[in-house]
Structure 1
Amino acid sequence: MNKGTLLTVLMFCVITVNAQKLKKAKVSFVPVDTGWAANSVNTVIFRKNSLVTFGDTQFISFYDKDRYVVLGKRKLGTQKWELKKTPYQGNTADAHNTISMMVDGEGYLHLSWDHHNNPLRYARGLYPGSLQLTEKLPMTGKVEGKVSYPEFYKLQNGNLLFFYRDGGSGQGNLVINHYNTATKTWTQLHSNLIDGEGQRNAYWQACTDTKGTIHISWVWRESPDVASNHDLCYARSKDGGKTWEKSTGEKYILPITAATAEITCAIPQKSELINQTSMFADAAGNPYIATYWREQNTSFPQYHLVYNAGANWHTQNLLFRSTPFSLSGAGSKSIPIARPQIIAKERGSKLAAAIIFRDEERGNKASIAINKNLQKQKWIIKDLSEHTLGSWEPSYDTELWKNKGRLHLFIQNVVQVDAEGISNTAPQMVEVLEWQPDF
């Protein structure tokens, strides 16, 4: 039996098992309201966050049909949302211009929206739990004129970090700001944590763990062409983002450059390596990175898990895809699979992980691949939704998963046309998919 036939047989066996297990998945959907769906701006993976829980209250944000930012909140366990249409609009014709939010340790909502190489747009709630926002505010007033990919992360003490790119694709730098809840002020930790040296830029994904460590990983891009993505790199900070080190504990001399970065997995250019995916760190601080690329001398881009269990980096190729595609060019693209989200946890002495994704091969549903013991490469795939989600990519309530082990996904059927195109898709219902993981 040749390699291609063997992979086909293995994939058939996995899918057959999945069909039997799907009915057991305890999934529920909570409707919110209709929102913009003519491209993927509401559902791109780099929303940090689309959903966020503070105490027993969950917050949500999205663009409506008229491009206005809508905020909402509900008590967990209920289906009744309080929604508020803000006075703020975004250029929804560009799928990069997404909304990101977080709630700080005192219950104030922080929001950033509508960025792709343009001045900072930031506001926060008027009081704890408020959906009414301030006027647009500066943060530090430094390098805030050319912002892309705003992302909020919450620290263990309730303070916040704000990540964004200063500069353009292929020649940008990573900026990190810090918010102090006691003084309600922002300071800049780094104006250039990862230096593209005017030749490249880092496309990152990050997370904070329950011990307070900040983890960041990234691919380098040499030009605006996504095909120039290469190598998967890593850094972590144990002091709130001030100093950074490799997984070995070796201190970085800042800024980090291509010459000094720790490479977790060497991946050459033109490997269909996607950027801006996801990472997670479990209670022990083990980092997990989910992404996809095409390995050398193969035809199909496959989902991969890259993780470190304490001493070394490991890579698992999920090997279930059988459809080729190619990444090249600039702008938001129409891609047959979503960038993946990763969640993970310890199960006694074992490490378990799950990758959340969408794939045309499975009808563009919300799907999940689960491995209950990473010492074995045994992945079981389930579909969490039964209807198509078009060009959807998964984003989830990171705080709810990290603190309670409950998975809530932002769900909407959207259509992305290649190269920042706009489809004629009517507004579609925004929902929250709730699932209690069984791994």
Structure 2
Amino acid sequence: MLIRFGKTVFATVFLLASGLSVSLATQNSVAQTSIKSIAIDHVWSGHRIKPYLLTRGNNQYVAYFDSNRQMTVAHRTLGAPWRYYKVDSWLGWDSHNYVTLEVDSEGHIHVMGNVHADPIEYFRTSEPHQVRSLKRVEVMVDKNIEQRTTYPIFMLNKNNELLVKYRDGGSGNGNEIYNIYDTKTKTWSRLHENQFLDGQGKMSGYFEGPALGPDGNFHLIWVWRNTPNAATNHSLSYAKSPDLVNWQDSSGKPLALPLTLKHSEVVDPVKPGEGMINGNVKLGFDGKNRPMISYHKYDENGNTQMYLARREAKGWNSVQISDWKGFRWEFGGGGSLGRFPIKPHNPSLMDNGNISVLVRKNAQVLRFVVEPTKLKTIKVEPADLYPKELELVTKTSNQSTLTSSDLPFEHQVFAGKGKSKKGGKYYLSWYSQPGNRDRAHSVISQPSVLLLHEVVSP
């Protein structure tokens, strides 16, 4: 289907396997954005779980859990039909158990996921780009340290070599493992001789990144967490690296591995119980390529507030950018929490030189427009995280599921990774019930339609 926003264009939405079609039309004075949407599959909607979408040139890959909770991987050449394959891995009720993938320099697909302190779940193709050649790989490097894996993330270094990182251990007592892949021998090896991070039996790190910055360095931010209790997050920290092997602080001083709380750089010494949580610290860069971090914590009155920290000449400068009254997110306990009432996104540079910090606060999405010199908030305005028309398309495709149930569904949108030769942006969208601290809901909802959207701006 095609929806073009800005002038009247009729679009037909085909509901997967239902035979029903619905026509949509919108009107505006100036053509702005076109959206092409296709249905991928019926997918699990019983709780929040993240799929993955990757575009590399003319190749596109998607990984998700189908309506039977089975891990599914699909590939297509852009514009061509999808080819699907299901591997022998099934999802439970844990919202940590997302699926992720990457493609190495020879076109082989690598897939990991469905783990939360579980033995490694890793699959690799024997033929480039051919999802139907995916096979389980029982051991990546060392079976002894691949028994309690969590949070797998694939990445490429500056030489286009494939790496993966994951946590070994549990919350409050875990270690980060980095492995690097050799395409010639088709084997993995440890990237670091020593342990990368050491919580010394008292804490573990929850990371965002590493992300390659405009200065050519990889930048990593994290919070420490003492126990499975989410309220015990503390000490926002930072490190950078030119090669993911040798690490340094923001001034360029070398950091010896393993990183510890004492021997790493703390951006903001937030204490446990002071309102900071893992997953809600986000990295960006200003017009001078300086790292910035958006996050939240309690102010002196106990209200939850947004902060923006930036590395400046004299060190890290953290500025409160919100001024909310009577708003406090009191969180704690273990397991996947429900929908966060506040969700910051990566700070970014605006065309006029100001800094944008997008924040979802309950049902609102706000943009904090911050001037770049003193990090003073100029204004707060309504904003969108993604084209809002996607929700209309998703609701139409899932209409029978949504109208036949009074369950509390959430609209989920995932921005795809990578780039295509065509340009444009790709998104996945679907509906699901919220997380339930990794426990079963009393009712299993009907499957949702997973949609792929290609969004093209003129």
Match of 1:111, SS? strand
Higher share of residues assigned strand = 2
Q: CA deviation at 1:29?
A: 5.9
How does 1:34-433 map onto structure 2 within 5 Å? 34-42=42-50, 50-76=52-78, 78=79, 82-132=82-132, 133-141=134-142, 143-190=145-192, 192-209=195-212, 213-239=217-243, 241-277=244-280, 278-280=282-284, 286-299=290-303, 301-308=304-311, 312-315=315-318, 317-319=320-322, 323-337=327-341, 339-342=343-346, 344-345=348-349, 347=351, 350=353, 352-353=355-356, 355=358, 358-362=360-364, 367=365, 369=367, 371=369, 374-375=372-373, 377=377, 378-383=379-384, 384-385=387-388, 387=391, 390-391=409-410, 395-400=414-419, 407-423=425-441, 424-433=444-453
Match of 1:319, SS? coil
Aligned partners of 2:300 and 2:410: how far apart in 1? 27
1:173–1:33 CA distance, 2 compared to 1 (3 A): same
Aligned partners of 2:308 and 2:272: how far apart in 1? 19
Aligned partners of 1:311 and 1:108: how far apart in 2? 46
User: Match of 2:434, as an amino acid?
Assistant: Q
Q: CA deviation at 1:163?
A: 1.1
- Contact kept, 8 Å, 1:358 with 1:392, in 2: the verdict is no
Q: CA deviation at 1:296?
A: 3.4
1:419–1:30 CA distance, 2 compared to 1 (3 A): same
Aligned partners of 2:256 and 2:347: how far apart in 1? 30
Q: CA deviation at 1:353?
A: 4.3
Aligned partners of 2:300 and 2:453: how far apart in 1? 36
User: Match of 1:113, as an amino acid?
Assistant: G
Work out whether 1:30 is the aligned partner of 2:37: yes
Deviates more, 1:149-158 or 1:321-330: 321-330
Match of 1:117, SS? strand
Deviates more, 1:23-32 or 1:115-124: 23-32
Deviations 1:160-182 (A, max 9, x none): 22111111111111111112334
The number of residues matched between the two structures is 400
Aligned-pair RMSD on alpha carbons?
3.4
Residue number in structure 2 paired with 1:8: none
Bigger RCO (CA 8 Å, 6+ sep): 1
Deviations 1:342-363 (A, max 9, x none): 2635758x364453x654333x
**Contiguous gaps of at least 5 residues in structure 2:** 1-27, 396-407
Structure showing greater radius of gyration is 2
- Contact kept, 8 Å, 1:280 with 1:288, in 2: the verdict is yes
1:152–1:201 CA distance, 2 compared to 1 (3 A): same
User: Match of 1:93, as an amino acid?
Assistant: W
Query: Structure 1 length normalisation: TM-score?
Result: 0.79
- Contact kept, 8 Å, 1:37 with 1:425, in 2: the verdict is yes
Match of 2:419, SS? helix
Query: Structure 2 length normalisation: TM-score?
Result: 0.76
Aligned partners of 1:313 and 1:436: how far apart in 2? 38
Identical columns (%):
25
**Contiguous gaps of at least 5 residues in structure 1:** 1-20, 44-49
